[in-house]
Amino acid sequence: MDSPEQFRFIEWPMPFLAIVQVDLQNLFRSRITYGWLIVGVFLQVIRVLSAPWAMGTSLIIVQGLGDFIFIWSMLIIGITASAVSSETGELADSIMSKSVKRHDYIMAKFTSRITYVMTIYLLISGVLVGASTRMMENDYDMNGLVAALLLVALALIMLTILGVTLSMVTSNTMISIVALLVLWYSMTIFLPLLDLEFMSPSSMINELPDIIQGVWNGEEWKIAASFGGISIIAMVLSVLYFSIKDL
């Protein structure tokens, strides 16, 4: 006969999984998703077809990945910075009725938004990499190419976590979006001026051509550590704050 502890172990993931499922369904069914995929894939195909063959795979891929840092980041900011603040009323009702625990909710939001952003990123970047490696002069190292894709993914995960965190801190969606826009583009533009290049997404993009070609200088590890560290710290602090937040 199953013990109460076993039942709790089985039942615990259900609210979490239900929130993730509903959130992902709503995200993938939105017109924003279809528009993002269509425009993103179109831009990558046009970029590869219009580039001279001698330009090389590495530069084309860096240009395409740069779209996520400088252009598509604005979409990601809008999607993630509204993750919690847009549901404040429904969330309070669910928690007050004890149908959803706070940690279930916030971890589900992190999970669904990261999954969504990474799915779009992998689809668009997959088209970019597939087309450029077949149609351009191959000047890439496979390990370096994978490392470059992972670094950009890590930057987007950091942006997603910061967005959900700000959405949780304030109940005003517009304030969350504006705050994240200022934070993200400050990191992109001003951190290199303060000799903090390893924390800047734009400096990461500048390092990608060498990384894709298999040239390593040690900066890539600092970049990965800084992005990963910011993500972990933001997630831990947000979970702790949300557990005591007055809804």
Burial-class residue 169 by CB neighbours within 10 Å (0-12, 13-18, 19+).
middle
Tally of structural domains, the chain: 1
Residue 116: which pLDDT band, with cuts at 50, 70 and 90?
Answer: very high
Produce one character per residue of 71-101: b if its CB has 16 or more CB atoms within 10 Å, e if not.
ebbebbbbbbbbbbbebbeebeebeeeeebe
Q: pLDDT, tens digit, for every residue of 181-237?
A: 999 999 888 887 788 888 899 889 999 999 999 998 888 899 999 999 999 999 999
Write out the H or E segment, with its range, that includes residue 24.
helix 13-28
Domain that holds residue 59: 4-244
Which residues does 35 contact at the CB level (< 8 Å), separation at least 6?
none
Q: pLDDT, tens digit, for every residue of 85-97?
A: 766 555 544 544 4
**Within a 10 A sphere around the Cβ of 1, how many other Cβ atoms?**
3
> For the CA atoms of the chain, what is the radius of gyration?
20
- Quick check: pTM over 0.85? yes
- Cα–Cα dist 112/128, whole Å: 24
